[in-house]
Amino acid sequence: MPATFIQPEFRVKIDYDKCHKCGRCVQQCGWGVYDFNERPIPHDEKCRACHRCVTFCPAHCITIERNPLAYRDNDNWSASLRKAVWKQAETGGVLLTSMGNPQPYPRIFDHLLLDACQVTNPSIDPLREPMELRTYLGRKPDAVKVEPDGAGGFRLAEGGGMSRNVELATPIIFSPMSYGSVSLNVHKSLAMAAERCGILMNTGEGGLHEDLYPYQDHVIVQVASGRFGVGPDYLKRGAAIEIKIGQGAKPGIGGHLPGEKINKEVSSTRMIPQGTDAISPAPHHDIYSIEDLRQLIYALKEASGYKPVGVKIAAVHNVAAIASGIVRAGADYVYLDGFRGGTGAAPAVIRDHVGIPVEIAIAVVDQRLREEGIRNQASIVAAGSIRSSADVAKAIALGADVVAIGTAALIALGCHVCQSCHTGNCSWGITTQKPELTRRIDPEWGAERVSNLINAWSHELQEILGALGVNAIESLRGSRERLRSIGLDEQTSRILGVKPAGM
């Protein structure tokens, strides 16, 4: 019998008439697609369509095509389902995958439309007028308390103002991606970009490498169930601390970084032995209830000198009640990760079938917190496939304070969304620890690419605000009146708190 029934997904075609026979494709491919025997010889079955070879081929002679192999039509038993069964029959294992849920569930962002001004209220030109995106992440008091300052004016009364908040120049931050799942150069790129853009990067659960210490004021340090790299020094370095309960790509599931990725640097940053698997348990073994979470939140505040502490959860069915509990437990922000959120590795069955869309999660959490009168007590960070500045604007209009981007930032660094992060062979040098691959990202270059993306989206947000006739992001935040739905059922529109187009 053949080793596998699964046929290659792609075909690598080389126009040998144009080929320089330079071998760059062989050198660039992290998947080992190419042999070289006087000319490059591709092995289609290894190709992930990541386009690394295509991008670097000096002769532009490589084309990647979808394998046109026909499967007998069957809407029920799709080719991918058949392949999954074959793979599991061969291995007996859980099917692993990576990045966000690619299945054709509805994308609610694509069914929401933004408003604009005409005549009765003027639009504002962001090229000529101030257009403010500054955002404060963290808890706000119910009201500002002032007292006379003795000179005829006023000053804040003791404790009457905003408690510790993190200032963001634009309401976009980077989502947690651990050192280990991504390379140190990726972490450096994000940290440098965060500093330049006045925003935050997030360590993920893999600790903070000392090379990032210069950027620590722009870093959220994460505390996850594995507690990798967590110590008093770590907690004090961050601008904020984040307790990771769940992840949109794998709600209820822990993490597993294979020993091959635990090199010397990862080992020292994570504080675990080199070469051992880094396993994050599914739950925190000191959080089995909401009161346990409260204790951890306050323990982290005590340990860090009262830094803001956020809690990241996956958007699941009962997300509004969970978020309300988190806010009442003392969190300064709630991070909602929708079911399209990315991952460096997850079981496909979980990624593709668990959780709810972030749009819904934002809407119900924002509404619930308002109904309970505690919306000001915590910021809402929304993530889970924010793909463009339009998604940012829509998420904010639904009620998010800030959005976090992971995949988009990696795409800026070269990621082609081939969904093979878990293999550790990323040809773009992003989700790998192989030195010959990680050196493909120069942090300076990476920081510029990612900064460009943040700046470009920020400019686009300013254009959107100007068209809406407002000149500050807080006037869009939670303003669902500026959204209309198109092609959504009535119930979904009601849950989103958005009127259908035409009303």
Partner 1 sequence: MSVTRPRYAEEAPFKIHGGCGLAGICDESGATMSGEDIILAMAVQRDRGNGLGGGFAGYGIYPEFPDHFAFHMMYHDEQAREEAEVLLNEHCVVDLAEPMPTRPVKGISDAPLLWRYFLKPLPGELERLELSEEDLVVRLVMTINAAVDGAFVASSGKNMGVCKGVGFPEEIGHFYRLEEYEGHTWTGHNRFPTNTPGWWGGAHPFALLDWTIVHNGEISSYGINSRYLEQFGYKCTLGTDTEVAAYLFDLMLRRHGLPLELACKALAAPLWSEIDRMPEGERELMRSLRAVYGPAMLNGPFAIILGFNGGMVALNDRIKLRPLVAARSGSKVIVASEEAAIRAVAPEPDVVWMPKAGEPTVARVAGMPWPIHGDLHLTPAEISCAVVGVEDVCDEAVEVTA
Binding site for partner 1 (CB under 8 A): 117-122, 124, 129-130, 132, 134, 136, 140-141, 143-149, 151-156, 160-162, 165, 370-371, 373, 375-376, 397, 468-472, 474-482, 499, 503
Q: How far is the CB of 485 from partner 1 (least distance, A)?
A: 14
293: its two tokens: 């979470």
Q: How far is the CB of 222 from partner 1 (least distance, A)?
A: 25
Residue 168 has phi, psi (to 5 degrees) of -120, 135
For 235, the enclosing helix (H) or strand (E) is helix 232-237
Taking the least distance from each CB to partner 1, the nearer of 98 and 379 is 379
Q: How far is the CB of 85 from partner 1 (least distance, A)?
A: 49
Residue of 201, 265, 236, 495 whose CA lies nearest to 365: 495
Taking the least distance from each CB to partner 1, the nearer of 114 and 303 is 114
Residue 127 has phi, psi (to 5 degrees) of -80, -15
Residue of 101, 139, 186 whose CA lies nearest to 311: 139
Q: How far is the CB of 14 from partner 1 (least distance, A)?
A: 55
Residue of 62, 40, 36, 46 whose CA lies nearest to 10: 46
Taking the least distance from each CB to partner 1, the nearer of 21 and 155 is 155
Side-chain half-sphere of 110: how many Cα atoms within 13 Å? 6
Q: How far is the CB of 387 from partner 1 (least distance, A)?
A: 24
Residue of 330, 372, 347, 141 whose CA lies nearest to 243: 330
Q: How far is the CB of 155 from partner 1 (least distance, A)?
A: 5
Side-chain half-sphere of 8: how many Cα atoms within 13 Å? 16
Q: How far is the CB of 298 from partner 1 (least distance, A)?
A: 23
| Count of Cβ atoms closer than 10 Å to residue 150 Cβ | 7
Taking the least distance from each CB to partner 1, the nearer of 24 and 140 is 140
The DSSP secondary structure of 247-296, one letter per residue, reads -TTSTT--EEE-GGG--HHHHHHHTS-TTS-EEE-SS-TT-SSHHHHHHH
* 190 three-class SS: helix
Taking the least distance from each CB to partner 1, the nearer of 73 and 490 is 490
Contact present, 171 and 417 (Cβ < 8 Å): no
Buried b or exposed e, range 377-398, using 16+ CB within 10 angstroms: bbbbbbbbbbbebbbbbbbbbb
Taking the least distance from each CB to partner 1, the nearer of 23 and 161 is 161
Taking the least distance from each CB to partner 1, the nearer of 121 and 276 is 121
Taking the least distance from each CB to partner 1, the nearer of 63 and 118 is 118
Q: How far is the CB of 393 from partner 1 (least distance, A)?
A: 13
Contact present, 8 and 47 (Cβ < 8 Å): yes
Taking the least distance from each CB to partner 1, the nearer of 47 and 403 is 403
Q: Which neighbouring-strand residues pair with 220?
A: 202, 240
Taking the least distance from each CB to partner 1, the nearer of 259 and 469 is 469
Q: How far is the CB of 333 from partner 1 (least distance, A)?
A: 14
Q: How far is the CB of 20 from partner 1 (least distance, A)?
A: 54
